[in-house]
Amino acid sequence: MDSNDIEQERGITILSKSTSVIHNDVKMNIVDTPGHQDFGGEVERIVLQKALSRGLKPIVVINKVDRPTSRLDEVESEIFDLFCNLDASDDQLEYPTIYASAKNGWAIKSMDDK
């Protein structure tokens, strides 16, 4: 979803984007938020807070897990803390996580699936 020239060149998301996809009878709203600390933060918090307040159960996708600089354990912990800080219900705290390398065209349910 990164369409900005700088985003494409650097491989990072700077501008938030959203789209909807209908699969069978399910509408999925996909929100691509900046993950880089210089550009993110409040965007993720606001989007997640709105989803949680509507009783939705988000699916978390952690991208770029193939990079040597990925901080997977730290990122997973930060995501869980964010859900808790936003008063996610017990059910919402059981969110599914997908691990991905969008640039390389793959996504897996478990890092053991490498």
For residue 3, pLDDT over 50 is answered with yes
Domain count across the chain: 1
How far CA 87 is from CA of 2, 50, 55, in Å, comes to: 30, 12, 11
Per DSSP, the three-state class of 22 is strand
Distance CA(99)–CA(96), nearest Å, equals 10
Report the relative pairing of strands 97-101 and 60-62 from DSSP bridges.
Answer: parallel
pLDDT of residue 40: 47
Residue 36 corresponds to which amino acid? Answer: H
Residue 104 lies in a domain: yes
pLDDT band per the 50, 70, 90 thresholds, residue 106: very high
Distance CA(103)–CA(12), nearest Å, equals: 11
Examine residue 97 and state whether it is found in any structural domain, yes or no.
yes
Give residue 39's domain range: 33-113
Supply the pTM of this predicted model: 0.73
- Residue 85, in any domain of the structure: yes
Residue 64 counted as domain residue? yes
User: Is residue 26 in some structural domain?
Assistant: no
Q: Is residue 81 part of a domain?
A: yes
